[in-house]
Structure 1
């Protein structure tokens, strides 16, 4: 991947070779890969791995035996080297390549060709490097009960295809109120390969919900859109996650006074090169929930903030950055939240294929407070609940904004808001305490006048079907659909973006039964007047890095600066990747770090151990 930050290592005749390298940018046009990039495509792996002039990875340990090559190393989160990618709390991609053959003689200080496909093992994993979450099982004294929600022989799609499989469950009968305190994945061998994510939604009881609860599952599209009004995310697991544990002061309430229904949405996909020997390959993976009668201090609640999925959410084509905002207005929080406010302690974000960045902003009396949450390197296939370091208090009257950025540069047609992967969305679901029941969905939707104004339309013909334009004269008679498809986005995108940001929108402040908060049914609102804008500072207050200016002669590759390996005792982050079940011949192994943006961070160290063959490893 052009711009990726790699380390390369191998062992030969007892000598450890270990280097900080980077992938040279191609001259051709390049589309930045997602964090779930298929590393099996040789064309996505540029051929040249150049040695960094500044060697910023420290080798801590290296040796080889008959089954493994072991390399242990560390690196500062921000090295101030323009060839190294700063490690932030955004979603990052760890890439690795293993090859049975070692580099040719003399390649240690020169250019190295990245392995292609013969004999190569490669892969990628999205990860939050700076986030550590308690993954311990519930304590015995909490008398936890277990509820396992599994698919029943969901059919795996053929190579190169994917499906969304849904199954509705009724919660077991409980005599008293309980608290959900943890969930974790239940993975069969098939699920370990094919299951990409699993999301558990709470449903509103209906005849349809009860009907589907008596079935063993079906394709999600068969449930309708949205599926059975099940849109409150209770649990969200994605590939690579070990689950989620609630903080000790809160639990999500399971009530006993009425039946509760939930739908489990699972996304299965099959790699193009998968050897599909069984046409009826199935999977029964799912999620395990832990809930307890030992109630915690607070009931946790769920609040969805963002843009209501609708065609009025328009993303023009061919643009590297399109910003869309969903609002939870002050009138709604003032009416719904308790006097002391609520405390947000975790969030899960949701965009689809072209969503790249998201942040949750908080406005109080025209002043913007520090961001509740942000991620500048989203991956639509890796979105799960993330605990905040410190709960964020939101008071009555605060205005919340879910702001999403999209990259539509590779699309030739507009993208509309909706629930399918071909459409887009912008949602931040927050876990908070204490629970309030007046407001569960706090969305907004661009008003029709805003949409028309952003497209240069002054007026529509009354009663026309399909909708036709009556003014301005040069557009008279044109259908709204034609205007959407033929609009000159290339030259008029700035006007469109300005109109959507400054135009009015319709708040959608609903309770769990989709009833509007009183007085908000016909309300129109505008972007708040922010007089004091919060300036982001991505560095650590405890250990902030100030990088010196980079001289022009330091930007090019020069002689490798060698340093002896050093061992350290105190680690802030330690990640171990061990593979001791498969015997491999000594060879070449690469790991890569990749990211979409570069930010300053602290001098904190990242330490990794690999137990495989020779190493290519890095960030995207």
Structure 2
């Protein structure tokens, strides 16, 4: 169950993959009509809407409607594809159960896709009347809302009662002072608690949002630090993220989980696997990074938000791990022109990145897509033997304010030599300046983080960036450049519809460096760098017309990495 609006609207649903249908049950605090719709873009225009009510005799009525624009939705004149099953009115609430097939092939319907779906809901204060045409849907003022949900892969929230009796521990801020600025990223490093000096698996975690700050905490990331060399147990790093970056940089590469406004607070891991939060070898270190959104710049704010891990009494069969796919968050990877209705950024993770995977494969469990405010679509495809096999996850309708760790309906097997292609699509019609890759909300990102088991210690991330030599050629310089020079050059560009189209063509063709971590092969960087020599072939992969991709091993070097070291894939 999801509460679409607190104390107003609740939604239950059951997915039938065999029948390719969903049975919904919508409860709304009204004795009038209620409506649920699937929207292609989050508003009324183009939305496929079910409108239902229960009349005075207890009979359920259901209408299939379509909204051509921000006007009253009309009755679908093709086929009726929302089927009312049963309903009742009780204690001032109306509850109706109804059914819809995933894809009706009706041009006035919106398919229910395997990734995220945009739901809209509304309600009236009186029923409709089939015999009085004047008694119809009227403007519903603020009796409406929007929610993005992965309808076909949503995992029911575990309850606290399910976890009673388990050991747990919390990583949380302690009445931390929050600056009176509109945007703050605050980081704090934690050490696994000393009472748990044996390997223990977490089987669930719960995000703990300070009740004082439910609208202040915009999102929270948890990272596992990959090295403790620079960490002083007597003074664990704690402060504004940018100000302490030099001492917490090793904590940014391994994302453990993330939460954002609109997401569920509880996550239950698969029965076969647990996340290793403590070790019998040495202490483990984690970093929480919280984005505080304070547009009114209020002062005297304090916060004690954090995260709780519930520990299994016995170790599970497999260790759970995370891998990040997408682009490096830097100006060299993301430079999105303003006033673009659609701008596409593609990335590719080559087969070499998965060569160390076990022959039996690994199991993808969940997907966490991520961009910032300009991104509206994120997906990743699995490439096997130069063929696009399937989506790992398709968040075709993405919204920064509703970020989920989407549980897959079925685990997806990944084998040695598999490759991945990720696409992010942005809209910048509300911006007059270029948007660059970076950590701030007004910057942009492009990645998906997947949880999987069994863990492969040699791969935490596989991300691309445009080759610096490409930028040097574009800037018509033979002198080496860094991201500071590149950013200045990019911000001085002027834009027209023609130059925006040319920029998209440049992105389609530009050579990329694919940078990934394979663990112990390189003592200095721990990373491999591949160069995708033909950017056009990326597009062929993503359009599923895959023939070949010219990829060769570039001699390991730390130079491209050091120039991007302050622009990690984090948020």
- TM-score with structure 2 length normalisation? 0.72
For residues 213 and 8 of structure 1, the distance between their equivalents in structure 2, rounded to whole angstroms, comes to 55
Which residue pairs with 1:376 in the alignment?
A: 396
For residues 132 and 66 of structure 1, the distance between their equivalents in structure 2, rounded to whole angstroms, comes to 29
Q: Does 1:260 pair with 2:284?
A: yes
Is the contact made by 2:465 and 2:514 (CA closer than 8 Å) also made in structure 1? yes
Which residue pairs with 1:52 in the alignment?
A: 76
Q: Does 1:3 pair with 2:56?
A: no
How big is the shift at 1:201? Answer: 1.4
Is the contact made by 2:120 and 2:147 (CA closer than 8 Å) also made in structure 1? yes
How big is the shift at 1:460? Answer: 0.8
Is the contact made by 2:517 and 2:527 (CA closer than 8 Å) also made in structure 1? no
Q: Does 1:124 pair with 2:141?
A: no
Q: Does 1:78 pair with 2:98?
A: no
SS in 1 for 2:498: helix
Is the contact made by 2:466 and 2:512 (CA closer than 8 Å) also made in structure 1? yes
SS in 2 for 1:460: coil
Q: Does 1:241 pair with 2:264?
A: yes
Is the contact made by 2:231 and 2:247 (CA closer than 8 Å) also made in structure 1? no
Kindly report the root-mean-square deviation, in angstroms, between the aligned alpha carbons of the 2 structures.
4.2
Within-5 A mapping of 1:98-177: 98=123, 100=125, 108=133, 112-116=137-141, 120-133=142-155, 135-136=157-158, 144-153=166-175, 163-173=184-194, 174-177=196-199
Bigger Rg, which one: 1
Which residue pairs with 2:92 in the alignment?
A: 67
Q: Does 1:462 pair with 2:462?
A: no
Which residue pairs with 1:614 in the alignment?
A: none
Which residue pairs with 1:205 in the alignment?
A: 228
Mean Cα displacement is larger for which, 69-78 or 140-149?
Answer: 140-149
Q: Does 1:182 pair with 2:204?
A: yes
Which residue pairs with 2:119 in the alignment?
A: 94
For residues 198 and 436 of structure 1, the distance between their equivalents in structure 2, rounded to whole angstroms, comes to 25
Specify whether residues 123 and 513 from structure 1 end up closer, same or farther in structure 2 by C-alpha distance, changes over 3 A only: farther
Which residue pairs with 1:318 in the alignment?
A: 339
Is the contact made by 1:14 and 1:64 (CA closer than 8 Å) also made in structure 2? no
Is the contact made by 2:230 and 2:247 (CA closer than 8 Å) also made in structure 1? no
For residues 50 and 128 of structure 2, the distance between their equivalents in structure 1, rounded to whole angstroms, comes to 14
For residues 430 and 368 of structure 1, the distance between their equivalents in structure 2, rounded to whole angstroms, comes to 18
How big is the shift at 1:377? Answer: 0.8
Specify whether residues 488 and 138 from structure 1 end up closer, same or farther in structure 2 by C-alpha distance, changes over 3 A only: closer
SS in 1 for 2:323: strand
Once the two structures are superposed, residues 20-44 of structure 1 have per-residue CA deviations (whole angstroms, 9 ceiling, x without a partner) of 434342xxxxxxxxxxxxxxxxxxx
For residues 142 and 306 of structure 1, the distance between their equivalents in structure 2, rounded to whole angstroms, comes to 38
SS in 2 for 1:524: strand
Instruction: Considering Cα pairs closer than 8 Å and 6+ residues apart, tell me whether 1 or 2 has the greater RCO.
Output: 1
Which residue pairs with 1:510 in the alignment?
A: 517
Which residue pairs with 1:584 in the alignment?
A: none
Which residue pairs with 1:31 in the alignment?
A: none
Is the contact made by 2:348 and 2:463 (CA closer than 8 Å) also made in structure 1? yes
Specify whether residues 279 and 228 from structure 1 end up closer, same or farther in structure 2 by C-alpha distance, changes over 3 A only: same
Q: Does 1:332 pair with 2:357?
A: no
Specify whether residues 56 and 256 from structure 1 end up closer, same or farther in structure 2 by C-alpha distance, changes over 3 A only: same
For residues 528 and 500 of structure 2, the distance between their equivalents in structure 1, rounded to whole angstroms, comes to 31
For residues 103 and 199 of structure 2, the distance between their equivalents in structure 1, rounded to whole angstroms, comes to 47
Mean Cα displacement is larger for which, 523-532 or 201-210?
Answer: 523-532
How big is the shift at 1:311? Answer: 1.0
How big is the shift at 1:205? Answer: 2.6
For residues 193 and 430 of structure 1, the distance between their equivalents in structure 2, rounded to whole angstroms, comes to 27
For residues 223 and 493 of structure 1, the distance between their equivalents in structure 2, rounded to whole angstroms, comes to 37
Choose which of 499, 510, 517 in structure 1 pairs with 2:506: 499
For residues 106 and 279 of structure 1, the distance between their equivalents in structure 2, rounded to whole angstroms, comes to 58
Specify whether residues 495 and 240 from structure 1 end up closer, same or farther in structure 2 by C-alpha distance, changes over 3 A only: closer
Is the contact made by 1:307 and 1:427 (CA closer than 8 Å) also made in structure 2? yes
Which residue pairs with 2:568 in the alignment?
A: none
Once the two structures are superposed, residues 88-137 of structure 1 have per-residue CA deviations (whole angstroms, 9 ceiling, x without a partner) of 23222333345556779987567644222xxx454333211111436446
Is the contact made by 1:510 and 1:517 (CA closer than 8 Å) also made in structure 2? no
For residues 525 and 483 of structure 2, the distance between their equivalents in structure 1, rounded to whole angstroms, comes to 33
Is the contact made by 2:203 and 2:311 (CA closer than 8 Å) also made in structure 1? yes
Which residue pairs with 2:368 in the alignment?
A: 348
For residues 503 and 423 of structure 1, the distance between their equivalents in structure 2, rounded to whole angstroms, comes to 21
How big is the shift at 1:13? Answer: 5.2
SS in 2 for 1:181: strand
Is the contact made by 1:347 and 1:387 (CA closer than 8 Å) also made in structure 2? yes
Structure 1 unmatched runs, 5+: 26-45, 469-478, 537-620
Mean Cα displacement is larger for which, 135-144 or 89-98?
Answer: 135-144
Once the two structures are superposed, residues 582-601 of structure 1 have per-residue CA deviations (whole angstroms, 9 ceiling, x without a partner) of xxxxxxxxxxxxxxxxxxxx
Structure 2 unmatched runs, 5+: 1-42, 545-571
Specify whether residues 113 and 269 from structure 1 end up closer, same or farther in structure 2 by C-alpha distance, changes over 3 A only: farther
